[in-house]
Chain A
Amino acid sequence: MFTTVTMSLFEGFLGTLKLFSLTLLFSLPLGLIISFGSMSKTSIVRWPIRFIIWVVRGTPLMLQLLIIFYGPGIFFGTNLWGSGDRGRFTAALVAFVFNYACYFSEIFRGGIQSIPTGQYEAAAVLGLTKTQTFFRIVLVQVVKRIVPPISNEVITLVKDTSLARVIAFYEIIWEGERFIKSAGIIWPLFYTGVYYLIFSGLLTLLFGYIEKKLDYFK
């Protein structure tokens, strides 16, 4: 029984992993773009973007999932996401990417704005171009500063993927719960925690390694 449960939980975990990795893949670059928007000198760009960030960060992700999944059908009468598992997955991914991109954008903004102007000025008087200044001077310093907060968000994301259950997205908790109905046992549900722990443990090690790699300067 234990092996059967382990195997089928693993299948559920693959769903978790898929949502997790695709969310990261899209939300990190999107977050960088949003952060540039939120720092734009043009207020017509800056304020709408900051407003959206405020809304996304100020409401529960679970609510956003529901609105994104059911919203188009209820308000526009179209089933934007298509039917079945594919549709649920796409809707969940869109909600997660959007939500996490907003969080990441604030981390990027903080990181970029924390670089002292002296660094830009020193680069300028040495004749560096704006591109050289960004890639040779600013970028590594920003990365160093944002690794710890990014690491926090990423580990939160591991656990947040379980929220996608609310639109019946198939992942590990869903799989664990199935055993309550089918076999009348609850321990598989509790057992899912082990998967989360191992996965977030591995991520913690990975981020610790990156932090250490960047420890050569202050």
Chain B
Amino acid sequence: MSILEVNNLKKKFDNTEILKGISFDMEKGETLSILGSSGSGKTTLLRCLNFLETPDEGTITVNGNCLFDAKNGPLRDGDLRQKRLHFGMVFQQFNLFPQYTALENVILAPKLQSNGSNMDEIVKNGKSLLEKMGLADRMNNYPHQLSGGQQQRVAIARALALRPDILCFDEPTSALDPELTGEVLKVIRELATQHTTMIIVTHEIGFAKDVSDKIIFMDDGVIAEQGTPAQVISNPTNERTRQFLANYIG
């Protein structure tokens, strides 16, 4: 059974259709990368999966449970909070909470969910996640004391702390100085080798080709092409994919 099935997802903003029927699925442990030119709807798709936007049509199914069906109308608050926990989200702009240290950022949500029980366990898990991100000596720093690359790694640890089924990344390195992208890509690569299920929107074509089990190329709100990196990146059949790759690889 697929861990995620997305079927015929559609989303309009002010009568402009941004997602025009997106369908794909992925297996547990896979890394899926989404490529596509600016404005093609990649962010909108991730935001729909995390229920930051409500799709107008379509279904989202995780582990065989239908989480969302547009026919049933929008989700209600409590329901929404439970369901979006299947997904984790790493934002382009990190969005760390400035008043909390790295460790506090990571343990805040698990702490609130457990109502303060299991604190030892939660703190231990938070520390070990930050260690995995190479931030053992930065746990008690506030976000403004960290570099962009370090902040983004804290954000990844924060998302992992809730053990989501699927971790989504929206251009995790595009807000970073070039010399800092490497450290973030490295931890994502490590997560991939440990079979964390991930959806990564990225413009780092070489990286996507390396780490992904599957690539989706989006164009103007539809999936123009999908397949293995060998198919989509090395031998694209779609004309738009070719143009896009030509621009990037030059």
Contacts and interface: CB of A to CB of B under 8 A. Distances in A.
Interface in B104-122: 108-109, 112-113
Interface stretch (B10-18, B91-99, B182-190, B231-239): B91-99
B7 to A, nearest CB: 22
Contact of A125 (B89, B142, B143, B144): B89
Contacts of A132: 112
Nearest to B88: A125
A136 to B, nearest CB: 7
Contact of A118 (B81, B91, B142, B162): B91
Nearest to B93: A118
B112 A141 contact: no
B99 A140 contact: yes
Contacts, number: 64
Interface string A124-136: 1111111010001
Contacts of B112: 127-128, 132, 136
Nearest to A129: B81
A125 B50 contact: yes
Interface residues on A, range: 20 to 34
Contacts of A119: 95, 97
A136 B111 CA distance: 12
Given A127-B113, A127-B162, A141-B99, A216 B142 contact: yes
B91 A217 contact: no
Among A118, A129, A217, the most chain B Cβ lie within 10 Å of the Cβ of A217
B158 A126 contact: yes
12 contacts: A116-B95, A118-B95, A119-B97, A121-B91, A122-B95, A122-B96, A125-B84, A125-B159, A130-B77, A137-B97, A217-B100, A218-B143
Given A121-B89, A125-B84, A216-B142, 16 more contacts: A118-B95, A119-B95, A121-B95, A124-B52, A125-B52, A125-B88, A126-B158, A126-B159, A126-B162, A127-B81, A127-B112, A128-B109, A136-B112, A137-B97, A140-B99, A141-B98
